[in-house]
Structure 1
């Protein structure tokens, strides 16, 4: 009995998972790709579903909510946290990296999804014109235009907010005929900005659930790019470049899921759609 208790204690002490945060469910599409490519590590996912969606909230509010969830993940032992949310990456990551982390010590890191996407998205286009589909908050931040411009100054970026896609997806209406109108609407609006767009970036982690529907309404020759595999590859390269961080992360092949909504059964139901397999979550209380 004592030996068994000692084993559990050691496992808890050595549990230093990678934290993955999203305002709700969408980050699970990124987590799915990360776990597929890097299955040996431990992971904790938290979806702030009690306060979602983030898309139309202010910079200040998004930063506050995101930082509270990041701190919660730090308290669970995570040395590295991925903001698997475009809105949080656009509106909160810079302040977290440049200001908030100064009080946390050098051993903790927070990464987002915009920069790794911007580093490679220019390689997908031949016409040098890209359409970015995202939430209102992501589009208003201009983050993709800035970051893509840093890596591919010759690429022109056209942005389109798609405010009704996330509600359709989270309410289970995304695969029904009624969603087609809004898919065609936003596709038409972004393509109307330029006849030379040959690449559409899904700059919201919810959107892979409607990727096939999006592709069905596109002219031939336009490719659709989701972020999951891009972020997973970028994380793998990051860990190779930072062996001290790679060594700090525990490797027991565990996954734990948390939601800020006390109805965990409801979270589990929708989370399975995004993660691609059954999810069993626990409630996480985020103290403001």
Structure 2
């Protein structure tokens, strides 16, 4: 049998499954491999150097699994590691392969959703500290007013299954109020962490009805479809057998249990040794 050359999707844990789900829904014909670095999550509190090292290691493993194209479905990895991998590593270790992130596709379109020109970014501390969103948005929408809020408790709430319980109310309301107090003109919120869509019912509970709340999955999926159309040489290297494999750097059994929450149905996973 001819080996598959799947599209690789990487995240520090489970959140990237929300992006993969949107990608598969829009582009079901391709083969996919998902890798969650659950043994070393969370990335959001780690240094630039550590996130870069971990992300590069996982990208290389996805290359070994046959991936010609890898999507960093993790905002922290996209913020702290993507540029170095693209500019420093790929030309040396894999000049014929590509690694893309989730920040650029989002910042290319986010200004279209706001009527007031004031948007809020909800993200991990690592993503906020990197200033990646403010820098990238400036390139495409220089007149947009951007307000960021780090929400360090939101990922643990989701991964511990507390995202829809009363315990989440305090932390969700606290950060939303803090962000919205900074400008009464904010009319668009970006969930700049792939875990946060699971908190959407809570977020909506504590925000005015007129606010637009954006998750990244569909935006990234649309951007990927456009990228493959514009780069037929990359598209030709991605096999189309509709297969789907899941890998984790931690317990496969635990991954299968928690991944169901993000994926919406049971998954089968394999352990990958780093």
TM-score normalised according to structure 2 size: 0.99
SS at match of 1:248: coil
Match of 1:271 among 259, 262, 274: 259
> Which aligned pairs between 1:124-139 and structure 2 lie closer than 5 A?
124-139=113-128
Distance 2:94 2:186 in 1: 44
Match of 2:22 among 33, 54, 64: 33
Map of 1:176 onto structure 2: 165
Distance 1:146 1:226 in 2: 20
SS at match of 1:144: helix
Match of 2:42 among 39, 48, 53: 53
Shift of residue 11, structure 1, vs aligned partner: 3.3
Shift of residue 125, structure 1, vs aligned partner: 0.2
SS at match of 1:50: coil
Distance 1:58 1:105 in 2: 25
Map of 2:203 onto structure 1: 214
SS at match of 2:146: strand
Q: Quick check: 1:43 aligned with 2:32? A: yes
> Which aligned pairs between 1:185-264 and structure 2 lie closer than 5 A?
185-261=174-250, 263-264=251-252
Match of 1:281 among 251, 269, 272: 269
Q: Quick check: 1:151 aligned with 2:165? A: no
Distance 1:207 1:220 in 2: 18
Runs of 4+ in 1 over 3 A off after TM superposition: none
Superimposed CA distance per residue, residues 124-172 of structure 1 (whole angstroms, 9 cap, x where no aligned partner)? 0000000000000000000000001100001010000000000010011
Distance 1:279 1:188 in 2: 37
Superimposed CA distance per residue, residues 195-239 of structure 1 (whole angstroms, 9 cap, x where no aligned partner)? 110000000000000111101110131110000000000000000
Distance 1:105 1:96 in 2: 10
Map of 1:5 onto structure 2: none
SS at match of 2:40: coil
Distance 2:2 2:24 in 1: 20
Distance 1:50 1:105 in 2: 26
**Runs of at least 5 residues in structure 2 that lack an aligned partner in the other structure:** none
Report if the CA contact (8 A) 1:32-1:276 is conserved.
no
Map of 1:11 onto structure 2: 2
Shift of residue 277, structure 1, vs aligned partner: 1.6
Match of 2:79 among 90, 107, 115: 90
Q: Quick check: 1:99 aligned with 2:88? A: yes
SS at match of 1:229: helix
Report if the CA contact (8 A) 1:118-1:148 is conserved.
yes
Tell me the matched-pair count: 274
